[in-house]
Amino acid sequence: MSCQEMEIYETYISTLTAYPTTLLGIMFQERNKALLKPTDDNEYFIDRDDPAVTRRDLEDECDYFQISQNALITAPVVSSHQISPIRKLVADKLDDFVKTLETIVTNIAITMLKHHFRGFSSTVTMTFAQESYIGGITSIVVKPKTDALTRSTWKAMSHHGTMGYFILDQFGENIGNYLSNLIPEVSWELNHKIYGVRERFYDFILIIDYDFNRERTLADSCLANRNSINRNSSRLC
């Protein structure tokens, strides 16, 4: 292959060393580091022909790179999308915040549907302060007023309080859009209130509107498949 036809592939050392019995896995082990001779800026030249197009070509490439079927099966799978432990912790905090909001919506729906199966409308407003010494979350208002829902919502959100303002400041619209797409009965509002240099608050409001629909409920239930089976059986008879 001429220099003009060279192809450059970029990968992680961890991906190569995940297969320690192969040619590349052996090459890039720490003990062989001194033997490696990069051509330019951590690049390594391997002289091979174009990609395999027949089974024999593939077998030849496997022989060259010392790739056995057993090695492919037993070697650990390493994702090409690596996330550092710290970034993962931060992302988990955001995910946990969103999951808590999902749980709050579900709990409200469970409570309301006990007495309002034909439909209901409910609103929960959560207020988060910027200053952590205030406690993060300053108020929760559930309408229609339900003491049990207010207490459970407060308990669910309490451990997010000190980070709530920052999360909403950075991701408030993303969170609202995600919830609306996930739960079509949910709409949302995000209000930023500033009363002074240090008195800043976010109101995150979730509005849940549910109207009973017979056809949609039937289609979402186990009866949909049962009715389909019955109709097919009738045709056969």
Domain residues of the chain, as ranges? Answer: 3-74, 85-220
Question: 131, 127, 125: which is closest to 196 by C-alpha?
Answer: 131
Please give the Cα distance from 203 to 190 (Å, whole number): 6
Q: At what angle do helices 85-113 and 147-157 cross, to 10 degrees?
A: 170
Question: So what's the pLDDT on residue 53?
Answer: 64
8 Å CB contact between 104 and 115: no
Q: How confident is the model at residue 1 (pLDDT cuts 50, 70, 90)?
A: very low
Q: Which of 150-159, 168-177, 201-210 has the lowest mean pLDDT?
A: 150-159
Strand, helix or coil at 139? strand
Q: How many CB atoms lie within 10 A of CB 37?
A: 7
Residues 6+ apart with CB under 8 A from 173: 190
Q: Which whole number is the average pLDDT over 153-175?
A: 92
Find the mean pLDDT for residues 112-141: 87
**Averaged pLDDT score across all residues of the chain:** 82
Q: How confident is the model at residue 124 (pLDDT cuts 50, 70, 90)?
A: very high
pLDDT recorded at residue 28: 79
| Choice among 88-97, 205-214, 219-228 with the minimum mean pLDDT | 219-228
The model's pTM: 0.61
pLDDT band at residue 237 under the 50/70/90 scheme: very low
Would you give the distance in Å from CA 10 to the centre of its chain?
A: 26
Determine the pLDDT at residue 55: 72
Residue 54 pLDDT > 50: yes
Name the band, by pLDDT with cuts 50, 70 and 90, for residue 207.
very high
- What one-character DSSP code corresponds to residue 89? H
Q: Which helix (H) or strand (E) holds 127?
A: strand 119-129
Q: For residue 104, what are the CA distances in angstroms to 8, 111, 125, 186, 208?
A: 50, 11, 11, 12, 11
The CB density around residue 194, as the number of other CB atoms within 10 Å, is 10
Mean pLDDT of 199-206: 94
Handedness of CA 88, 90, 94, 97 (dihedral sign): positive
Query: Which stretches within the chain are classed as H helix?
Result: 13-17, 23-27, 55-64, 69-74, 85-113, 147-157, 161-182, 214-220, 223-236
Position with higher pLDDT, 102 vs 36: 102
So what's the pLDDT on residue 81? 59
Classify domain 3-74 by CATH number.
3.30.710
